[in-house]
Each structure stands twice: as C-alpha cells, then as structure tokens.
C-alpha cells in the first residue's frame, strides 16, 4: 500500500472563509486537496463536506463539490463541478478560497468566483489537506513511476463568519508544525495509508508527500 499524507485542524468550524495557496501533485490517480469535512462518528449518516480537489488525470482543471447526506445516505459526486484552469495545474500555485455561510458556499480561484451553491450545511467541519490515490474510475489509472510525488502549500488563512461578515482570525505560514492547531492523520484512505512522516515542513512550506 502506498503512503500519503493528511493534515487537519484540531478545531471544527461552523461557517467561515478558508484560504490557501497550493500547488497540486502531477500524475493520473493522485488526488491533491483542500477541503472541509465533518468527522463525527456518525459522519456517514450526517455527511457534510466541501471540496477543492485536483485530480492528476486532468492536467489543467480542478473539481469543486459538496457532499451531504440525504435520508441518512451520502450521495457523493452529485454536486461535482469541473473547472478548467488557464495553466497546467501542477506547474503553478493556486490561491483557493472557500466562503461558507449559513445559506451558501462560494469557491474562488485566484480571487475569482468560480462557483456559488445555495446549500445549508449545519455540521461543524474540520479543515483538511491531503494527498492520496483515488479510485481509478474517478481519479485515473496510477503508475508507480510517478512516486515520489508531493502537494505544496504556502499558507492557510482562516476568517470567522460573525454578524454577517468575515473576520480574520489567523494565518499559518508553515514554518513548523503548530500542534495546538493541526494534527497529521495516521489512517487508511481507500488504498492509501496516510502517515504522519509524510507531512513535512521545510523552507516555509507544507509538503504532503506520496511515497511507496
């Protein structure tokens, strides 16, 4: 089983603006992400998730998505939207922003709104970033020759949603791991083992590595 990485907040959030500057990994089968996720024990019946996902099979695009439960069952993919980019995704850094309010979610790329969705998500969610190997039917066929691979993040910025506006709270520029804010996952995800050792802080960047 190949080894990936995931960094996630200890805190769960209800609404807010979540921003990063990231460069995804290159290669079919590899998923690089920036997303919100409700990780309660009942998450399968009360699924709440907001996604930015780069699929390596697509060299110049990304996907946005909301997953939520309906009648106790999650319907992943029903809200997926494919967004074409003007440059090759893995060669560039992209400023990504999720604005989540009580009645809608807005996705922005490089400060431009690419999607607005009217939706009510009421579960508190953690902010997460990961790299892993997805189902080939979705993420594409994977070639072991693509390893090692990495996704890079320059910073994460959080603003709370208070009294109808976004209020800046903190920014992490990844000079080192802030254990009070973040933790690295040690768990399996589809056919990838997420390990703490593949979460690396170097040169004021966060690297999420994919290895053998």
* pLDDT per residue rounded down to tens, the chain (212 residues): 999 999 999 999 999 999 999 999 999 999 999 999 999 888 878 889 999 999 999 999 999 999 988 666 666 667 899 999 999 999 999 999 999 999 999 999 999 999 999 999 999 999 999 999 999 999 999 999 999 999 999 999 999 999 999 999 999 999 999 999 999 999 999 999 999 999 999 999 999 999 99
How far is residue 120's CA from residue 99's CA, in Å, rounded to a whole number? 13
Look at the chain and report how many structural domains it folds into. Answer: 1
Q: Which helix (DSSP H) or strand (DSSP E) does residue 136 occupy? A: helix 136-139
Report the distance separating Cα 127 and Cα 53, nearest Å. Answer: 13
* Positive or negative torsion for Cα 29, 112, 128, 93: positive
How many angstroms separate the CA atoms of 33 and 64, rounded? 10
* pLDDT computed for residue 1 by the predictor: 92
Q: How far apart are CA 159 and CA 152, in angstroms?
A: 22
Entry pTM: 0.95
Q: Which domain holds residue 193?
A: 2-210
| Predicted pLDDT at 74 | 66
- The pLDDT value recorded for residue 44 is 77
CATH of the domain at 172: 2.60.120.200
pLDDT, position 69: 82
Q: How many CB atoms lie within 10 A of CB 2?
A: 18
Coil, helix or strand at residue 197: helix
What per-residue confidence (pLDDT) applies to 76? 60
Residue 46: what pLDDT?
Answer: 85
pLDDT of residue 45: 81
Rg over alpha carbons for the chain, rounded to the nearest Å, is 16
């Amino acid at each position: 089983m190949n080894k990936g990485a995931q960094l996630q907040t200890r805190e769960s959030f209800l609404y807010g603006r979540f921003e990063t500057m990231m460069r995804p990994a290159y290669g079919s089968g590899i998923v690089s992400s920036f997303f919100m996720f409700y990780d309660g024990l009942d998450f399968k019946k009360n699924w709440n998730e907001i996604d930015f996902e780069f699929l390596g099979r697509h060299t110049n695009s990304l996907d946005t998505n909301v997953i939520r439960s309906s009648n106790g069952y999650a319907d992943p993919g029903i809200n997926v939207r494919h967004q074409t980019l003007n440059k090759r995704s893995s060669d560039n850094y992209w400023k990504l922003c999720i604005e989540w309010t009580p009645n809608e979610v807005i996705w922005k790329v490089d400060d431009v709104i690419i999607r607005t969705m009217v939706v009510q998500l009421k579960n508190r969610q953690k902010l997460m970033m990961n790299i892993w190997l997805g189902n080939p039917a979705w993420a594409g066929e994977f070639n072991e020759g693509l390893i090692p691979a990495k996704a890079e993040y320059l910073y994460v910025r959080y603003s709370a949603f208070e009294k109808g506006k976004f209020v800046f709270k903190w920014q992490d520029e990844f000079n080192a791991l802030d254990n009070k804010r973040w933790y690295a996952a040690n768990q399996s995800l589809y056919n990838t083992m997420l390990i703490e050792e593949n979460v690396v802080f170097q040169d004021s960047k966060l690297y999420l590595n994919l290895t053998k």
